[in-house]
Structure 1
Amino acid sequence: MSSPNVRILKQHLLSDNWYVLKKIDFELQRRDGSWQPQTREVYDRGNGATIGLYNRARRTVILTRQFRIPAFVNEHHGYLIEAAAGLLDNASPEERIRLEAEEETGYRVRSVRKIFDAFMSPGSVTERVHFFVGEYQPEDRINDGGGLAEEGEDIEVLELPFAEALAMVDDGRIMDGKTIILLQYLKKLIPVSPLMILLTGADEQARACAASLLLAGHIPVPAIWPGQMSQAAAAHDADEYTRLLVKRCDAVLCTGATSPHTSRLVELAQQYDVAVYRDVSEIPATVTHHPDARPSASII
């Protein structure tokens, strides 16, 4: 990668023992146009991948606990609770995270989905981390996990209620950055607060779905344009109202027969990255809606 605003002057190899540590002399063009010489140490350990393993129906997540010497020497007991992760080592991100999930947790996940990349410590470390999520089922566990002893790994596998994992972030029991990011993302998949669910149709099925959503702790919103009641709105005004409605809601639930209006709602939902459900059973209840949402963690 090159940039007209950066001039690399010299690179000094400081260590090639575990990974590669270099001192880099460079010039950076400031916003006023002047060039400023700088020197930084850069640690290259390759790129990595991590995954948030979750079960939507059980409202649980799979995490690990292992000893980290850098945390230990920085006034911590060293045992960090983390999401499964590993360096790519010349594998593709998806291939690597499947292998790491199985190696560390014992789960062979059927489907994984990449959500984004992130530089975790860009002031000194080159690593780009590929973030994934994947839903696990109890039958997906094919071994005990625990990592590889020859690589110094002694990993404890934890199955935690999602609400408990979030509480552990709040009280400092979870301090690993990638894990905190994944848990925050999983709030979209395991709701902790009521969602506004846009319901298509106005038939008996839609009314039954609305009742089910209320019982699950969510807020059903009928997809009815006011002009349907007054018969006095122009078509483009109705479409603009529908756009605003879809953008404001958290998901769309399609009920009843498919219609042009339903198809338009789905199209807009996909355009605005709003979740689309085909059955009310696909929508998890809110975590806080359940009195048993925070039992103690279990080691599995």
Structure 2
Amino acid sequence: MTVGRLGAEESAPAKVNLYLHVTGRREDGYHLLDSLAVFGPAADRVAAAPGEALSLALEGPLAAGLAAEPDNLVLRAARALAEATGRAPKAALVLEKRLPIASGIGGGSADAAAALRALDRLWGTGLGVAGLAGIAGRLGADVPVCLAARPARMQGVGEVLRPAPSLPEYGLLLANPGVALATPAVFRARQGGFTPPAALPEAWPDAAAMARDLAALRNDLEPPAIALCPAIAEVLAAIRALPGCLLARMSGSGATCFGLFPDSAAARRAAALLPGGWWREGGAPHPALAG
């Protein structure tokens, strides 16, 4: 990815749901959630440079999966920011796609959030994360948490954000079997009632304690996702068998799964042991991008 001297570039890290409880359902059909979101070692990148019109170029190893999209969420984010600030939507955008598509780690939402941050700098609108939050919320439920890309407790339909517990050092492994899974289909396949919100401590002293508490929680979308995509169960079994794995669980609506490890080095070593053909990334959680 090449960005000119006057351009701006932003990382769009994967959002990982360490647990996800479906706590209820609104009258409009949207489900209410309770989740702890962190940001993983893998990321897309969005670059913005001056342009005569609004354009988007796709790059990266997984760009082909977006080629058929008539209106990428990055473009919608750009138009929304332009409309909110009363300016013409003119920018040359580049999306380097490295996260799998429709995979439960908020790739599209992270891309939209990165586009908002990059264009805020390029256009000099000066909104910052706080000023961009309202625009982000209109683009999708996961876009606000991806805006700052810092650990957060997500509730409501995803728009209610609270600080996460203080997190210890830990490593994350992400793995996907290469199967796209549509979120609406997973929710439709879900059966049973609702799960109460989790009780979380103010802090965890180490990764092992964090994993023990999280093991008592669940991802309510994991069983229906496995029913639709049995390969998820294979990925989870493979992660659980890796040396040093403290917890294995599916993220979001799948099919990406994660493994929690004592540190980033253990997560990187574990990634190299997974079967070939799967997308995988292991390492440290992504640092927060904004205040």
TM-score class, shorter-chain normalisation, is under 0.3
TM-score (norm 2): 0.25
TM-score by length of 1: 0.25
Higher relative contact order (CA 8 A, sep 6+): 2
